């Protein structure tokens, strides 16, 4: 159940509504509101509210309307918000912000899997910018399968990402692995990435939802998440107060050993039906093979992805992390050109048909 608050509700009327909600839900905590494109809202589990309480609730002066999407996720649902969410990346720091979602051109995010050194990051940042990428990626905190592998430079990596933003004006995206680090990562980064291994780390999702700067969150699909589990993970972030969620298909685990994961491209058009959130594809982690990255980038844009996140390294074979799937800046340049051309053609096609 979603309660939309009247735009013109007075602070008294709002306070009355909050007190009423605390009473009927038995909550000891302040009720969280989220500013969505179509108004300020509160989402609740309707099963805890009996019909009489429901009537009383709808009579509260601060209540504009009550809607009940029939899906388990609510605020993420297209039933609740029909118009595509458009999210601005990079408006909290000095850089070139970019809009993702809806009819905006696909946004290309690229950079190394891991921030390895100042020289590596700055050179790669300039190279991916030159190639046409609009957002710089780079992991400072790396969730590695083995404890003996390179774990990232940590805070030092975050500082280098901020330096790279200053040098190139590209907004930056980096992974956050623990709730206690959300505010620190949000201080340096423009987008918080939640990785596949943490896709159902609920305390982390809540902390990202509550981040004081409302930084957008790129939520990767869990290794074995269903679409509904993924959307419910997004719902945690939105219901905690942050509507700026970008979904990222990065492949799911299956039995085949040839590719690192299975790139489920069906999820892209399907998600566009189910949710208003932007959807991007990661052709690097989903394939694990650099030679497959260009074609799957084109396929992703053809499937109407709102963006791509691609690993680029100046010398992929020497990368400290994920070199096998990393492409060079030269290949990235081609991918940017091809996917832009494709996206433009698809847009023109839509305009002609309309």
User: Which residues are at the interface with Mn ion (CB under 5 A)?
Assistant: 113, 322
Q: How many residues belong to the site for ligand PEP (CB under 6 A)?
A: 10
**Contacts of the segment 154-162: beta carbons below 8 A, 24+ positions apart:** 155/184, 157/114, 157/115, 158/184, 158/185, 158/187, 158/188, 158/189, 159/188, 160/115, 160/117, 160/118, 160/121, 160/122, 161/115, 161/121, 161/136, 161/188, 161/189, 162/93, 162/188
User: Whole-angstrom distance between the N-terminal and C-terminal Cα of the chain?
Assistant: 35
Rounded least distance, CB 209 to Mn ion, Å: 24
Interface with ligand PEP by CB under 6 A: which range of 120-128, 190-198, 232-240, 288-296? 190-198
Rounded least distance, CB 264 to Mn ion, Å: 18
The separation between CA 282 and the C-alpha centre of its own chain, rounded to angstroms, equals 12
Rounded least distance, CB 267 to ligand PEP, Å: 14
Residue among 250, 272, 276, 290 that touches ligand PEP (CB under 6 A): 250
With CB under 5 to 8 Å by kind, the binding choice for 235 among ligand PEP, Mn ion, none is: none
Residue among 101, 111, 195, 243 that touches ligand PEP (CB under 6 A): 195
Rounded least distance, CB 39 to ligand PEP, Å: 33
For 95-107, letters b (16+ CB in 10 Å) and e give: bebbbbbeebbbb
149: tokens are 């592998």
Task: Tell me which H or E stretch contains 227.
Answer: helix 227-239
Kindly identify the residues of this chain, within the stretch 99-128, that bind ligand PEP according to CB under 6 A. Answer: 113
Residue among 93, 129, 215, 220 that touches ligand PEP (CB under 6 A): 220
Rounded least distance, CB 261 to Mn ion, Å: 12
Interface with ligand PEP by CB under 6 A: which range of 21-29, 93-101, 192-200, 345-353? 192-200
Looking up tokens 């972030």 gives: 237
CA–CA gap between residue 220 and residue 224 (Å, rounded) = 11
Which residue is at the shortest CB distance from Mn ion?
113
CA–CA gap between residue 53 and residue 85 (Å, rounded) = 32
2: tokens are 């979603």
Q: Which residues pair with 246 in a beta bridge?
A: 218
The mark string for 301-340 relative to ligand PEP (x by CB under 6 A, - otherwise) is ----------------------------------------
Instruction: Please tell me whether residue 174 binds ligand PEP under the rule CB under 6 A.
Output: no
With CB under 5 to 8 Å by kind, the binding choice for 129 among ligand PEP, Mn ion, none is: none
Instruction: Please tell me whether residue 285 binds ligand PEP under the rule CB under 6 A.
Output: yes
């Amino acid at each position: 159940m979603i309660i939309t608050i009247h735009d013109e509700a007075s602070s008294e009327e709002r306070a009355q509504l909050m007190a009423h909600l605390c009473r009927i839900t038995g909550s000891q905590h302040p009720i969280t509101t989220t500013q969505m494109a179509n108004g300020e809202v509160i989402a609740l589990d309707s099963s805890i509210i009996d019909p009489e309480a429901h009537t009383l609730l709808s009579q509260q002066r601060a209540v504009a309307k009550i809607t009940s999407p029939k899906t388990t996720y609510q605020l993420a649902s297209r039933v609740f918000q029909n118009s595509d969410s458009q999210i601005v990346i990079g408006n909290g720091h000095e850089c070139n912000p970019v809009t993702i979602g809806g009819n905006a051109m696909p946004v290309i995010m690229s950079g190394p899997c891991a921030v390895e050194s100042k020289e590596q990051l700055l050179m790669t940042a300039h190279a991916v910018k030159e190639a046409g990428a609009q957002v710089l990626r780079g992991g400072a905190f790396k969730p590695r399968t083995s404890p003996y592998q390179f774990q990232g430079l940590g805070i030092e990596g975050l500082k280098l990402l901020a330096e790279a933003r200053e040098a190139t004006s590209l907004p930056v995206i980096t992974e956050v692995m623990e709730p206690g680090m959300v505010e620190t990562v949000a201080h340096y980064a423009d987008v918080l990435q939640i990785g596949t291994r943490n896709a159902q780390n609920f305390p982390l999702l809540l902390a990202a939802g509550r981040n004081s700067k409302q930084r957008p969150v790129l939520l990767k699909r869990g290794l074995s998440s269903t679409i509904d589990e993924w959307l419910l993970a997004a719902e945690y972030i939105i219901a905690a107060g942050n509507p700026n969620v970008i979904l990222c298909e990065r492949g799911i685990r299956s039995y085949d050993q040839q590719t690192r994961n299975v790139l489920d491209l069906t999820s892209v058009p399907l998600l566009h039906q189910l949710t208003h959130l932007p959807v991007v594809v990661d052709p690097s982690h989903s394939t694990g093979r650099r030679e497959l990255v260009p074609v799957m980038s084109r396929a992703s844009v053809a499937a109407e992805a709102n963006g791509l996140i691609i690993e680029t390294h100046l010398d992929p074979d020497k990368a400290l992390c994920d070199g096998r799937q990393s492409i060079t800046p030269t290949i990235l340049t081609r991918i940017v050109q091809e996917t832009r051309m494709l996206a433009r053609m698809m847009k023109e096609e839509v305009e002609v048909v309309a």
